Amino acid sequence: MLNSRRLPALLPRIIGALLLVFLGGCSAVKIGYNNAPALVYWWLDSYIDFNDAQTVQVRDSLATLQAWHRTNELPAYADLLRQIQRVASGPVTPQQVCAFSDQIRLRVQRLGEQAAEGMSRVVPTLEPQQWRHLALQFDKHNRTWREEWLDSTPAELSARRLKKAEERAQSFYGRLEEAQLAILRQSVSSPTFDARLAWRERLRRQQDMLQVLREHGNSDRAAHVKAEILALLQRNLNSPDAAYQTQFERLVVESCANIAALHNSTSAAQRRHLQDKLQDYEADARALISAK
């Protein structure tokens, strides 16, 4: 039932990294969360290749970000998971699903806004070779993305989307019945999704980030750099590309309707499976809050 409105670009992935680690799986939550600063650092370093001084700065910023997140955000996650458990015991409406999705999106945005402080101190220290390294990493990952989403046949694309949807649904509900799989097949057959628009937005976000980094290299105006990073975040969350933003909003509405339809088709046993999973997440969140 959880759906965090996937945001396929580097900046949202950076700012959402701690959230995604937390939601990675009940058995690994505590280990993953407690090691999140190191995990996120190594992921970022693969894109930018930090020097020694930047490494210290980035690690310190991530540790500070996690401390803020543990105190200020984990309680909100736990409360949200408790709310979803109560609703998940019965049928749900698309509006209820979208309301939960909006709350998750807000949590990602808050994390991004908090992360901007540390980013504003690192960005001015980046060297041209690091921008070039980032651009090369974009190109590398773009080739894989293009192979999966643009160069595939429509049948291959539908099969890939169905597999992902089925794996996600079964992780919460357990084994699905044929009628439930039919709901998923119908959901991935929507003509609203246009991989070409997603590709165009992906490239726009990458070039937007590279331009911001280039423009603010060696800047001594920390407040201005932070404002530019926050503006970049907003352009990632709400694209200036009207066609893409329209598709995104339509997909969100469709997703909420599809999730509600799938949930309402589940048996009592499947809903208990979902509630047990959410209870485990909540317990882990509350345990992590107290493990300061």
Indicate whether 179 belongs to any domain.
Answer: yes
What was the pLDDT predicted at 56? 96
Residues 6 or more apart from 66 whose CB is under 8 A from it?
18, 36, 37
Instruction: Give the Cα separation of 202 and 117 in Å (integer).
Output: 24
What was the pLDDT predicted at 20? 41
Indicate whether 57 belongs to any domain.
Answer: yes
Indicate whether 111 belongs to any domain.
Answer: yes
- State CA 182 to chain mean position distance: 27
The total number of structural domains in the chain stands at: 1
Helix (H, G, I), strand (E, B) or coil at 145: helix
What was the pLDDT predicted at 8? 32
Indicate whether 14 belongs to any domain.
Answer: yes
What DSSP string runs through 158-217? HHHHHHHHHHHHHHHH-SPPHHHHHHHHHHHT-TT--HHHHHHHHHHHHHHHHHHHHHTT
What was the pLDDT predicted at 161? 87
What was the pLDDT predicted at 64? 94
Indicate whether 2 belongs to any domain.
Answer: no
Burial category of 171 from C-beta neighbours within 10 Å (exposed 0-12, middle 13-18, buried 19 and up) = middle
Q: Would you say 260 and 99 are in contact if contact means Cβ atoms under 8 Å apart?
A: no
The one-character DSSP state at 266 is -
Q: What is the pLDDT of residues 25-83, one digit of tens each?
A: 444 567 778 888 998 899 999 999 999 999 999 999 999 999 999 999 999 999 999 99
- State CA 200 to chain mean position distance: 19
Burial category of 70 from C-beta neighbours within 10 Å (exposed 0-12, middle 13-18, buried 19 and up) = buried
Among 35, 37, 106, which residue's Cα sits nearest to residue 72? 106
Q: How many CB atoms neighbour CB 233 within 10 A? A: 21
Indicate whether 27 belongs to any domain.
Answer: yes
What DSSP string runs through 47-80? HH---HHHHHHHHHHHHHHHHHHHHHTHHHHHHH
The parent domain of residue 203 ranges over 10-290
Q: What is the pLDDT of residues 234-254, one digit of tens each?
A: 999 999 999 999 999 999 999
Low-confidence residues of the chain, pLDDT below 50?
1-27
What token pair was written down for 70? 């543990």
For 285, the enclosing helix (H) or strand (E) is: helix 268-290
Indicate whether 3 belongs to any domain.
Answer: no
What was the pLDDT predicted at 234? 93
Burial category of 64 from C-beta neighbours within 10 Å (exposed 0-12, middle 13-18, buried 19 and up) = middle
What was the pLDDT predicted at 292? 63
Instruction: Give the Cα separation of 58 and 122 in Å (integer).
Output: 7
Handedness of CA 163, 164, 170, 173 (dihedral sign): negative
